[in-house]
Structure 1
Amino acid sequence: MNDSLPLPDVLRSALAGLLDGLPPSATTGAVDRLIGHYRGVVPTHAPVLRDRSDVAAYAAYRMPATFEAVRSALGALRDATGTWTPATHTDIGGGTGSASWAVAEAWQDADAPVATTVLDWAEPALAVGRELAEASGVPGLREARWQRARIGSALTLESAGLITVSYVLNELTADDRRALVDAVAGAATGAVLIVEPGTPDGYARIIEARDRLIAAGLSVAAPCPHSAACPIEPGTDWCHFSARVSRSSLHRQVKGGSLAYEDEKFSYVAATRFDPDPATARVVRRPQIRKGQVLLDLCLPDERLRRETVSKRHGPLYRAARDAEWGDPWPPHSADPL
């Protein structure tokens, strides 16, 4: 690994090596099939990724976006947990390891690499995940265990400091979703992070998981500033966030389109076994910048949603509001509250 390269660039380089030599037509065809599959109802009787071509297509199509979504959610979890560092990590339904790459980056400065175990149904995905991890040169990834497991109600979990479940719940039946979340809550000794697509259905799955984690005794660390009921009235809106994904020429070739970036919309919940320090409030919509003022839509600790107007008269807070992004805590630690 080139130590001067940030991990997202290392991932892009590894993906380019993965697709090297594969016919573009085969990769593009597999991507089209996978797009159709993930936009529809996902069957649970067979793995989605059938062979190496499918896995290569999936990795190029989804890994950069999944990595950025989990990376963003982990940033919020770390903000709420201070110096806490997981010694072990289980990546459930991890496939080619997007969440494991994000975890490796989040705690890359820890005294020892986070010991990761990736569990997935599809052996071809695990094989490619091992290959990408080896190409990364990152100790925590190169030393990860890649194990085949049926993800659902029959899954038996060993305890782990951190358990991630990213873009998995949609692939399960309702009963399996509930059983998996309960098993994760019981096995996590430190924290749980669950990420789903930023759609109304994805948000509904996150809210159900959030309720079950709280019932199991965990406390919400992010994105919510509290562990009480979500203030969004069901069916009227949904809580989701956005992560900017840089698109390499390879990524643009596989997915089509010409923009150098895309925005990955996602919903998530992070919860801990210990008392976290959640954000005072959370920016839950893209800030609107007007002449001399910024409009912020906030989720507040008293179970309310509120639009806050920050104007020039607020000085440093106004400058912070102009720099605020969707999903950020508010106010920033460097600015005084209104």
Structure 2
Amino acid sequence: MNDPVSPADTLRRSLAGLLDGLPPRQAAAAVERLIANYRGATPTHAPILRDRADVAAYAAYRMPATFEAVHSALEEFAEAAPEWVPASHTDVGGGTGAATWAVSATWPGERSVTVLDWAEPALALGREIAAANPALHDVRWQRSRIGAALSLESTDLVTISYVLNELAEKDRTTLVDTAASAAQAVVIVEPGTPDGYARVIEARDRLIAAGFHVAAPCPHSAACPITPGADWCHFSARVSRSSLHRQVKGGSLPYEDEKFAYVAAARFPVTPAPSRIVRKPQIRKGQVLLDLCETDPALTRTTVTKRHGDLYKAARDADWGDAWPPADH
């Protein structure tokens, strides 16, 4: 019997077919132009993705990274709330639907899903790609301006991924408050930059003020122990690189690492990690150095040596972003 194909593999196959008939040089040029636009100050009333060629190029380039980042965040959320499965999901600013794929990979099965975005070409292509995923056959793809005027119907889960960076501060705060009032759980993902982290912390504070409990990545719902401006909290997800990735970015590695910051919070009780590994573990002879965010809250460095037996083996296998110690220790 063949193993079922994962949503991630299905998504990669679907994206690979998007660029058929589009010359590679043209696709790469479209991606480079779109990246430049996204890094600029683009008002929400002017969609950057103008037509199908734009959307196809950008989806093929960005969807795998968005999927992996959001999936990583959702997996950690699911660890903190193992009995909970969302029966409904609203993806705000979801574009071609990467977060909906990530939700289906985290909690298999069908659910009520709505994707909201201002760019009609992105929604149309998202619907086309979703046809390959049985869990996404009944998604509602709805054109909606993402900002202060947005209203959301009651839903179990709201995801907001790589959206806050496109909004003015007033629109950001109103959007987070709107999500908090509509949802039982909210997961927000931003680029893993100091600015992205600052937006996540701002959203985290508003969610806590609205009565939410932080499920991940933080082991607590107290103030973040990082001194503002001195450092930032972010994580990394491994992404398989397509030929388009290699053409745009150069190099020949078959993968790249997507850096992201996130917060996952819920109105219901959650069990966050005892502590979280917040830097890449440093493996040295006979010891592993782990930088941890603790429940206290505090940032600490702990050294795990061979004298710790099985815990030392677990430390050697631990990844940046993992809960610590592992659940079976």
Query: Which TM-score applies when normalising by structure 1?
Result: 0.94
SS at structure 2 position matched to 1:294: strand
User: 8 Å contact 1:90–1:116 — kept in the other structure?
Assistant: yes
Aligned equivalent of 2:53: 53
Aligned equivalent of 1:149: 144
Aligned equivalent of 1:163: 158
Superposition deviation, residue 334 in structure 1? 1.4
CA distance in 2, matches of 1:259, 1:267: 24
1:41-120 alignment, distance < 5 Å: 41-108=41-108, 112-120=109-117
Superposition deviation, residue 217 in structure 1? 0.5
User: 8 Å contact 2:283–2:316 — kept in the other structure?
Assistant: yes
Superposition deviation, residue 254 in structure 1? 5.1
Match of 2:229 among 221, 225, 235: 235
Superposition deviation, residue 80 in structure 1? 0.2
User: 8 Å contact 1:31–1:255 — kept in the other structure?
Assistant: no
The answer to whether structure 1 residue 175 and structure 2 residue 170 are counterparts is yes
Aligned equivalent of 2:127: 130
SS at structure 2 position matched to 1:233: coil
Tell me, which stretches of 5 or more residues in structure 1 are unaligned?
A: none
Task: State the aligned residue count.
Answer: 328
The one-letter code of the counterpart of 2:303 is: T
Match of 1:221 among 209, 215, 223: 215
Match of 1:293 among 266, 283, 287: 287
The answer to whether structure 1 residue 193 and structure 2 residue 187 are counterparts is yes
CA distance in 2, matches of 1:242, 1:39: 20
Superposition deviation, residue 255 in structure 1? 4.7
SS at structure 1 position matched to 2:18: helix
Aligned equivalent of 2:260: 266
Superposition deviation, residue 23 in structure 1? 2.4
Deviates more, 1:266-275 or 1:18-27: 18-27
Provide Cα deviations, 1:90-131, integer angstroms capped at 9, x if missing partner. 0000000000000011111xxx41221100000000000000
Superposition deviation, residue 3 in structure 1? 6.5
Q: Alpha carbons of 1:3 and 1:101: their partners in 2 closer, same or farther (altered >3 Å)?
A: farther
User: 8 Å contact 1:231–1:305 — kept in the other structure?
Assistant: yes
Aligned equivalent of 1:34: 34
**% same residue:** 70
Deviates more, 1:64-73 or 1:45-54: 45-54
CA distance in 2, matches of 1:31, 1:250: 9
CA distance in 2, matches of 1:285, 1:154: 38
The one-letter code of the counterpart of 2:76 is: A
Q: Alpha carbons of 1:93 and 1:3: their partners in 2 closer, same or farther (altered >3 Å)?
A: farther
Q: Alpha carbons of 1:116 and 1:254: their partners in 2 closer, same or farther (altered >3 Å)?
A: farther
The one-letter code of the counterpart of 2:13 is: S
The answer to whether structure 1 residue 313 and structure 2 residue 307 are counterparts is yes
Aligned equivalent of 2:14: 14
User: 8 Å contact 2:28–2:244 — kept in the other structure?
Assistant: no
User: 8 Å contact 1:99–1:164 — kept in the other structure?
Assistant: yes
CA distance in 2, matches of 1:178, 1:64: 28
The answer to whether structure 1 residue 184 and structure 2 residue 179 are counterparts is yes
Q: Alpha carbons of 1:254 and 1:5: their partners in 2 closer, same or farther (altered >3 Å)?
A: farther
SS at structure 1 position matched to 2:320: coil
Provide Cα deviations, 1:257-315, integer angstroms capped at 9, x if missing partner. 31100000000000001010000000000000010000000000001000000000000
CA distance in 1, matches of 2:175, 2:323: 29
The one-letter code of the counterpart of 2:118 is: W
CA distance in 2, matches of 1:313, 1:5: 41
Provide Cα deviations, 1:18-64, integer angstroms capped at 9, x if missing partner. 11112223211111111212333333330111111110111011000
The one-letter code of the counterpart of 1:169 is: L
